[in-house]
Structure formats: structure tokens, C-alpha cells
Structure 1
Amino acid sequence: MSVTQQFLLDSYRAAQHGEAAPPAPGAHDWQVVREVRDYGRFHAVVHERPAHGRLRAALRRALHGLRGGAVRSPRPLP
């Protein structure tokens, strides 16, 4: 059963029982993303790590390691 079919079934059942319809699929996706981000920041602060810029710092470290000679040039063609 797809998400849309489940939503329609739940809406039908709610209408039969006189209850409020459930939220449409995807209606709260951005709220979930914000809550996950906030939880990550909270978790970082609790464990005494910087709360902001952790992803950029990790990417910067990874890219700096690549620039430091870890990048291999392609083999020349025969």
C-alpha cells in the first residue's frame, strides 16, 4: 500500500468516525528536518563540542587532506 492510499484510507475512516482528518503526507517534513538539526546542536552542546559549523569544518578537513598530496593524478594514456 502506498503512502497516498494509506492517507486516503485514514481520511475515510476519520470521516466515518467524525474525527479530524490526518495531515497530508509530507506536510511536516521541514519541521522534522529542523527538529533533527536542533537535536544535533543540543547533543553537541551537551557533549561540550561546538554546536555550529561542525559540518563545514569536517568538509574543510577532508578537502584539505585531499589538497595535501592525497589526490592522485590519472595515469597517462598509452
Structure 2
Amino acid sequence: MNALHQYLFDTYRAARTGEPVPPAPGTHDVAVLRSVRDRRRFERVLAGRPARGGLRTALRRRMRPRTP
């Protein structure tokens, strides 16, 4: 059973019992990703590192050719 099937079951059950309908799958995904990003920035500030540019720096480091 995937998330859509579970959502349909929950919607049906909520309609039968008069409860509020649960949010659709994926409704809060963007908010979760933003909160994860903000938390990582906060942790970087607490560690004394720059709050921005961490992903680009890491990618640049990984993409740089290795010198023998």
C-alpha cells in the first residue's frame, strides 16, 4: 500500500465518522525541506562556519580533479 492508498482509506474513514479530512500526501513537503535547510544553516552558524554556500563548496570540492 502506498501513501495515496492510505490517504484514500483515511479520507473515507474521516467522511464516515465525521472527522476532519487529513492533508493530502506531499502537502507539507516544501515546508519540511525549508525547515531542514534552516536547521542546517543554524547549526553551521553555531559551529562558526559560514551559513551560506556549504552545498556549493562541497560540490566544488567533489567535482575538482584529483592531483596525483
TM-score after normalising by structure 1: 0.73
Distance of 1:48 and 1:63 partners within structure 2: 25
What is the one-letter code of the residue matched to 2:19?
A: E
Distance of 1:63 and 1:55 partners within structure 2: 12
- Partner of 1:2 in structure 2? 2
Structure of greater relative contact order (alpha carbons < 8 Å, 6+ residues apart) = 2
What displacement does 1:56 show? 1.0
- Partner of 2:45 in structure 1? 45
- Partner of 2:54 in structure 1? 54
Distance of 1:10 and 1:43 partners within structure 2: 37
Distance of 1:2 and 1:61 partners within structure 2: 38
What displacement does 1:48 show? 1.6
Report whether the alignment pairs 1:27 with 2:27: yes
Distance of 1:63 and 1:9 partners within structure 2: 46
- Partner of 1:63 in structure 2? 63
Distance of 2:60 and 2:2 partners within structure 1: 41
What displacement does 1:11 show? 0.7
Where do 5+ consecutive residues of structure 1 fail to align? 71-78
SS for the counterpart of 1:32 is helix
Q: Which has the larger radius of gyration?
A: 1
What is the one-letter code of the residue matched to 1:8?
A: L
Report the identity percentage: 51
